[in-house]
């Protein structure tokens, strides 16, 4: 299990830059135009903006689910290509997660290391089966 944590730590080290990059790209393409006004207009403005981002992340998960549900999609791992629809939807999820994390100030890498350490230490899904 030490290898798992070491691998997660290696990934975690890359995530802060990836978060900043995803957020900067979203700003550059004006993905959330008007968000400064929303944040300033209401005490819950930032919560609304976070919720919108999370909804978009969920929509990407739904798109990935649709790909999995599609009987025409070969789910054999050997069939995966970096540019197939399922792979791209999973990448969309990651991009949205990185951007959301940066928006909220979450150090996703540190959280991932903490969560992995808990899991390796025996924590299992809060007592549920899966
Ligand atoms: Mg998508």
pLDDT tens per residue, the chain (130 residues)? 578 899 999 999 999 999 999 999 999 999 999 999 999 999 999 999 999 999 999 999 999 999 999 999 999 999 999 999 999 999 999 999 999 999 999 999 999 999 988 887 776 666 676 6
Question: What is the reported pLDDT for 130?
Answer: 67
Residues with CB under 5 A from ligand 1 (ion): 60, 63, 89, 92
Of the candidates 58, 64, 52, which has an alpha carbon nearest to the alpha carbon of residue 103?
Answer: 52
- Find the helix or strand (DSSP H, E) in which 121 lies: none
Question: What is the reported pLDDT for 124?
Answer: 64
Question: What is the reported pLDDT for 117?
Answer: 87
Question: What is the reported pLDDT for 2?
Answer: 74
Task: Provide the 10 A C-beta neighbour count for residue 35.
Answer: 19
Give 59 Cα–ligand 1 centroid separation in angstroms: 8
Are residues 116 and 8 in contact, defined by beta-carbon separation less than 8 angstroms? yes
Give 66 Cα–ligand 1 centroid separation in angstroms: 11
Question: What is the reported pLDDT for 1?
Answer: 58
User: What secondary structure letter does DSSP report for 84?
Assistant: S
Give 26 Cα–ligand 1 centroid separation in angstroms: 15
| Alpha carbons 53 and 47: distance in angstroms, whole number | 10
* Torsion, CA 83, CA 89, CA 93, CA 96, rounded to 10: 80
Give 90 Cα–ligand 1 centroid separation in angstroms: 8
């Amino acid at each position: 299990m030490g290898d798992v944590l070491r691998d997660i730590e290696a990934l975690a080290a890359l995530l802060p830059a990836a978060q900043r990059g995803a957020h900067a790209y979203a700003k550059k393409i004006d993905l959330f135009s008007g968000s400064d006004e929303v944040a300033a207009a209401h005490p819950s403005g930032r919560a609304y903006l976070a919720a919108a981002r999370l909804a978009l992340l969920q929509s990407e998960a739904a798109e990935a689910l649709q790909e999995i549900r599609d009987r025409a999609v070969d789910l054999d791992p050997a069939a995966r290509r970096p540019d197939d629809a399922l792979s791209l939807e999973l990448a969309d999820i990651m991009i949205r997660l990185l951007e959301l994390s940066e928006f909220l100030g979450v150090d996703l890498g540190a959280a991932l290391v903490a969560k992995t350490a808990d899991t390796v230490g025996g924590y299992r899904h809060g007592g549920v089966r899966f």
